[in-house]
Chain A
Amino acid sequence: MPQEHIRTPRPSGTPADPPGGSGPAWGGPALGPDSAATARWRLRLQAAGPWLGLVLLCIAGTLLNGDFATWDNAMNVLTRTAFIGIIAVGMCFVIISGGIDLSVGSMAALIAGSMILLMNGIAAQVGSPVLTVAIGIGFALALGAIFGLAHGLLVTKGRIEPFIVTLGTLGIFRAYLTYLANGGAITLDGKLSDVYSPVYYGSLLGVPFPIWVFAGVALVGALILNRTGYGRYVQAIGSNEQVARYAAVNVDRIKVLTYMLLGVCVGVATVLYVPRLGSASPTTGLLWELEAIAAVIVGGTALKGGEGRITGTVIGAVLLSVISNILNLTSIISVYLNAAVQGVVIIIVAFLQRGRR
């Protein structure tokens, strides 16, 4: 596996470096059989952390309100998680590669607004509403990829810190949406809205479409991360960029691709989001970036990069929505303290899956 050739033990870290989900192939000379077994056990415990948190939370939710454990509620929660979850899968790649993207919420808002304006604009010429929506969807995905490309190029060729690049575009994207919306809301025309709404509200085998898409994106993401050369390069770059470079990895290309992947994920999330309300406003996607980053980190990915898990990210995203769902289903705590409860749960789950330093 190329990954083992690229990776080197970090000088300051402990040698218990978990090999990015692809099995216990690590065999550093300094590692005795005992410590390897302990490390594996610890790794398993860490991976179970978010699961454990989610299970405990679900038990608490059921005890507090019987309606929590119903099929409909589960579908509601998973459907509304889909946006953040899909973005978080892309974000997982960016964070593993050692980058960050703060702009995803604004990007989603701008893509949503642009695609609505486009669809409203071309509806008359195109004629068929279905085709119009299809063009809109294609446009949203392309726009996401282009924004991602811009981020990637600014980070690699422009050599600007990703934090600053995406902090800049966070402002740019949202300001442009506000400008396009004239400060109000951009609303999809009624006819198109009817054609498009099944994408959010429709379901297959009793499971709403956004959940299928979410599951598909997560599955593909996990395969790319763990089963392809590209996935290993992403982890290698995040682990040690210099070494990856010496190992003839085209670091710039991989990084640009990673930002584009996230951009496309934002595009997919937006495609699912727009039919929900059929509108975009300056509050669309507000703070999604923090939720997506939190989902990734709660799910056991290191903010400093190098390693991460897609399953953990998915669980992390679900966990975050379950917290607010439970708070909405009960009134045992003052509404003013909702954010505090969320904060406490996030910290506890992070504690459960705490890794090496």
Chain B
Amino acid sequence: MKFIPRILVTLAALAAGVSAATSAFAQDKVVMGVSIPAATHGWAGGVVYWANRTKGELEKAHPGLQVIVKTAGSASEQANQVQDLQTVNKINTLVILPFESAPLTQPVAQVKAKGVYVTVVDRGLTDTSAQNAYVAGDNPGFGKVAAEYMAKAMGGKGNVVILRGIPTVIDNQRVDAFNAVMKTHPDIKVLDAKHGNWNRDDAFKVMQDYLTRFKQIDAVWASDDDMAVGVQKAIDQAKRSDVKLVIGGAGSKDYIKKVMDGDKVVTADVTYSPSMIADAMKMTAEARVKGAAMPATTIIPSVLITKDNAAKYYVPDSPF
């Protein structure tokens, strides 16, 4: 898979105690349950796409491997689902992207206690002993990379507005990292940061009001490609030419295409790819089938996409 960023940074030491258990399992059939949130927004839609696509690839590559993909609409539904996967589907491997960390820690811990190998993706559990391995995107990096690019593109001075996502730890980490970089540029002023909820329509409204309120905005950090859609519509409507730069994030195909085609305003994007579920599934499958150890923590870095490397990240088939 040439378009998946292969640069994986290992942060912690290798998982302890995996080897003995896994090699015993390795001879048996591996039944992998994949539990992910339903496709309620663009990014989650991408997760579902990558999970199903990787299921096909893995089952073809490893005849002894069965993958069951389940989507859940809420944290409580996902908790029930994890139980069902263990009791009904008899999984011995679980790859889970938890809806929320706290409510799923206990259900996942119980499944692990019954001998299931658990890989947690994107959102860490509150008790890390409930997981064998953790694969995640780099949220602070997501804010940092965007801020560094933006500061450089602005020549170190100007006015910035931020659109935040849904109030969550993920969003806080991103925004804090972004602001930390901007603090080192005294001539850049962050005017305000309001929640657009990773939603096009909310972002449209917030941006309209920013444009009413601030007469000079040089750059917008929309922090999400869906929100960037709403932001750009609002700017077009107000016919404002002061906004020179709009940076989204997460790497949707439409925005990567814009970067690739040399858009004047959208000159870069930052990855937070839903394909991290594919990476997690593959790494887990390798570990289970071959009995190889898996790193306890794998962080998939957020990478800057510019015109030069955009083609590498462009996946036209993906819904996101």
Contact = CB atoms under 8 A, between A and B. Distances in A.
A325 B209 CA distance: 7
B212 interface: yes
Given A182-B319, A328-B206, A338-B195, A283 B212 contact: no
Main secondary structure of the interface of B (DSSP, over half): helix
Interface in A43-96: 65, 67, 70, 72-73, 76, 80
A72 B199 CA distance: 23
Contact of A282 (B39, B193, B233): B39
Given A277-B229, A338-B195, A181 B319 contact: yes
Nearest to B198: A283
Nearest to A326: B209
Contacts of A181: 45, 319
A277 B233 contact: yes
Interface in B197-237: 198-201, 204-206, 208-210, 212-213, 226, 229-230, 233, 237
Contacts, number: 95
Interface stretch (A29-37, A135-143, A228-236, A329-337): A329-337
B212 A72 contact: yes
Given A76-B212, A325-B209, A281 B41 contact: yes
B201 A183 contact: no
Contacts of A279: 200, 229
Contacts of A72: 212, 238
Contacts of B40: 178, 282-283
A284 interface: yes
Interface in B33-49: 38-42, 44-46, 48-49
Contacts of A354: none
Contacts of A336: 167
A183 B45 contact: yes
Nearest to B197: A283
A277 B238 CA distance: 14
Contact of B49 (A182, A201, A277, A286): A182
Contacts of A24: none
Contact of A283 (B199, B233, B318): B199
A183 B200 contact: no
B199 A286 contact: yes
B192 interface: yes
A184 interface: yes
Contacts of A338: 195
Interface in B262-297: none
Interface string A194-214: 000000010000000000000
A328 B213 contact: yes
B144 interface: no
Nearest to B207: A328
Contacts of A65: 213
A128 interface: no
B46 A183 contact: yes
A146 interface: no
Contacts of B318: 184
Given A76-B208, A76-B212, A80-B208, A184 B46 contact: yes
A38 interface: no
Contacts of B319: 181-185
A324 interface: yes
Contacts of B237: 201
A12 to B, nearest CB: 39
B164 interface: yes
Given A72-B212, A328-B213, A277 B45 contact: no
Nearest to B237: A201
Contacts of B206: 328
Nearest to B274: A183
Given A178-B40, A335-B194, A184 B213 contact: no
Nearest to A286: B199
Given A181-B45, A183-B320, A277-B230, A335 B212 contact: no
B201 to A, nearest CB: 7
A336 B318 CA distance: 33
5 contacts: A182-B45, A201-B237, A328-B194, A328-B210, A328-B213
Interface of B: 38-42, 44-46, 48-49, 164, 167, 192-195, 198-201, 204-206, 208-210, 212-213, 226, 229-230, 233, 237-238, 254, 318-320
